[in-house]
Amino acid sequence: MKANIFEIKRFAVHDGDGVRTTVFFKGCPLSCVWCHNPESLKKQSELSIYQHKCVKCGNCVRVCPNGAHAIKDDKHVFIRENCIACGKCEEECYFDAIKLYGKEYSVDDLLPILLQDIDFYKDSNGGVTLSGGECLLQYEFCTELLKKLKEHGINTAVDTCGCVSKTAIDSVLPYVDTFLYDVKAFDEDVHKRCTGVSNKAILENLKYLDDMGAKVEIRIPYVPAYNDNQIEKIAEFIKSLKNVTAIKVLAYHNYASSKYEAIGVKNTLPQLVPTEEDRQRAVEIIRRIVDIKVS
């Protein structure tokens, strides 16, 4: 069994408690307009071209088996429909202008990488976080990997958008210490406008996790003109839950613009970015409603 992984980030400090290694899985059921990981959306591997780094050396042209690269009029031309995502060009690009998002790993491939920092995990009360995209789209792999991590005494977290089957949740539940759970909107019409899908299953799955006694940290992306009118409603919903340990309000940023261009997709990122004062107002609204740690 293998999973398609697009990044393994060591020494992560924003994906759960302590120092962690975060594994990012390809594929996501949502299409959030503010997505800062557009390279995660497709299940398939895909090549990105960062033209500003390219020196037109022609190494990619030389090694590509399918004629996806060319140098014409001193410009690097990438014919995406010819690309088979084999990664040979990435290996020969010495200026990091080419990056392959998505490489297959088995559990046995991943485990030694994740165990490298076990001393840091233990010293900082950290561990390993599975993220994405949506890692639980590949839940069978996640379950096997999480089992192995628990056998080594490693704290585990799953970062999920919640738009997954209950089968996936039940499969990983015994091996997850904390769920980092995204709540982007409460009203279904707002959620559809922001992400392209209904949030009905997302809210049901959150309630299910709460009923099962799972430790859950709620994460709310704060995006002006999209979900800023949802904060109070989200807080009222969270108030009905019993096992939420913390809430984090994450201010939207548009740093990912270059990724959209690099993978050849339309940039949907909103122009309006919240200030820290905007984010703090959202935090205060939640604090007035729930007696839970909010940051």
Judged by average pLDDT, the poorest of 10-14, 106-110, 128-132, 210-214 is 10-14
Over pLDDT 90: what percentage of the chain? 99
Average pLDDT over residues 150-167: 98
pLDDT of 276: 96
pLDDT of 112: 97
CB pairs under 8 A, 24+ apart, for 31-34?
31/195, 31/196, 31/197, 32/184, 32/194, 32/195, 32/196, 32/221, 33/194, 33/195, 33/223, 33/226, 33/268, 33/269, 33/270, 34/194, 34/221, 34/223, 34/226, 34/252, 34/268, 34/269, 34/270
Q: What is the dihedral of CA 199, 173, 122, 124, to 10 degrees?
A: 20
pLDDT of 94: 93
Backbone angles phi, psi at 201, to 5 degrees: -65, -35
Cβ atoms 141, 109 nearer than 8 A: no
pLDDT of 266: 94
Average pLDDT over residues 159-165: 98
Tokens of 249: 């309000």
Tokens of 106: 């088995």
pLDDT of 238: 97
pLDDT of 249: 98
State how far the Cα of 117 lies from the Cα of 10, in Å rounded to an integer: 8
pLDDT of 101: 97
Over pLDDT 70: what percentage of the chain? 100
Name the DSSP letter for residue 177: S
CA angle 197, 199, 200 (to 5 degrees): 120
Q: What is the dihedral of CA 163, 216, 295, 231, to 10 degrees?
A: 40
For the chain, the structural domain boundaries read: 2-44+102-294, 46-101
pLDDT of 241: 97
Average pLDDT over residues 122-151: 97
pLDDT tens digit string along 25-50? 999 999 999 999 999 999 999 999 99
State how far the Cα of 227 lies from the Cα of 221, in Å rounded to an integer: 8
Confidence label for 115 from pLDDT (cuts 50, 70 and 90): very high
Q: N- to C-terminal Cα distance for the chain? A: 38
pLDDT of 84: 95
pLDDT of 225: 95
Average pLDDT over residues 144-170: 98
Query: 127-131 and 20-25 as β-strands: parallel, antiparallel, unpaired?
Result: parallel
CATH of domain 46-101: 3.30.70.20
State how far the Cα of 160 lies from the Cα of 137, in Å rounded to an integer: 10
Please identify which residue in the block is written with the tokens 């995502």.
Answer: 85
Confidence label for 55 from pLDDT (cuts 50, 70 and 90): very high
Confidence label for 224 from pLDDT (cuts 50, 70 and 90): very high
CATH of domain 2-44+102-294: 3.20.20.70
State the burial class of residue 87 (Cβ atoms within 10 Å of its Cβ: 0-12, 13-18, 19+): middle
